[in-house]
Amino acid sequence: MTDLQQQLHGLWLPLITPFRDGELDVTSLRRLVRHYAGQPVDGLILGATSGEGMSLGLGELEGLVSVVLAELSATSRHLPVCLGLSGASTARMKETLDDTADWPIDGYLIASPYYTRPSQRGLVQHFNALADHAAWPIVLYNIPYRTAVNLTNETLLSLAAHPNIVGMKDCCADRAQTIDFIARRPAGFRVLTGEDTQTFDALSDGADGAILLSAHVQTETFASIRMLLREGNRDAALAAWQSVAPLTRLLFAEPSPSPAKHWLWRLGLIDSPEVRLPMVEVSADLAAWLDAEMERRAQPMPQPA
């Protein structure tokens, strides 16, 4: 079992990427890392969907990784870090794997090829080619409503046999498919849900953890759900879930990560809610809704580090 495979459980945070005046906001990024290093998170995903990775150049991605790892080191908190990647060309993805092979990361989160809609046979060949080529372990990202293609369970079982494919972020949005795969997966292959609104069900069904944009907010409560379930305290886990379930809808009321960035900006963790086109900041109506919910929850402002 690889190091990443052993660490791929619990609550992982797909960290947002803060911007200011069109550039990576390093000051806010450091503040974010310091804050979440003190929270019960088990790993970070950088430059994936929540991190607006498709809007980042390779140099910006490298800078993002460098700042995050330096800040983690300064806090003396070791967290595994995976880099989110996506692309429709196997050859170009292999080039990106080459470009990032010496980066000090722990693995990759790689989504299915988008737009091209390959067959299941093509998906197997694509991911096996990447896994053969990658210097770091790969976590599959199955999110058919973004990529227009679903990794079936037979395909996933085939890919799970590759020694460099160690787990999956599951956003298939089909509970029956998830339950079936969890029951049939090989020993040690990790499944983390990425469906924020279905977190409780997925963890109850045996998922090893969750990768949740919503956990930027009330992180401790999200982390407690799995721990309580593992302790057999389902009633307390359900109560914790019900207290944060409305956030999983509110933070996706408009395209993510704009609502979460607004919340973190109002909380003082980032200096701007800026996103990059084609993403736009939240509407005035949603901003008012978010502000009202923040006031209702009365979250204290983090103390300056």
211 appears as a binding residue in the annotation: yes
- Looking at residue 268, what DSSP letter applies? T
3-class secondary-structure state, position 167: strand
50 is in an annotated binding site: yes
Half-sphere exposure of 168 (CA within 13 A, CB side): 28
The terminus-to-terminus CA distance of the chain in angstroms comes to 37
CA 284 to the chain's CA centroid = 27
The secondary structure of residue 192, as a DSSP letter, is: E
CA 107 to chain centre: 13
Q: How far apart are CA 48 and CA 84, in angstroms?
A: 4
3-class SS at 24?
Answer: strand
- Kindly list the catalytic residues: 141, 169
Count of other CB atoms within 10 angstroms of residue 167? 26
Angle at 152 between CA 106 and CA 156, to 5 degrees: 35
**Calpha distance 234→125 (Å, rounded):** 41
- Give dist(CA 5, CA 10) in Å, integer: 12
- Could you tell me the two tokens for 43? 């790993």
Give the separation between CA 43 and CA 14, rounded to whole angstroms. 9
| Burial degree of 221 (CB within 10 A; 0-12, 13-18, 19+) | middle
What is the torsion angle, in degrees rounded to the nearest 10, for the CA atoms of residue 112, residue 118, residue 123 and residue 129?
-90
Residues annotated within a binding site: 50, 211
Residues annotated within a binding site for pyruvate: 50, 211
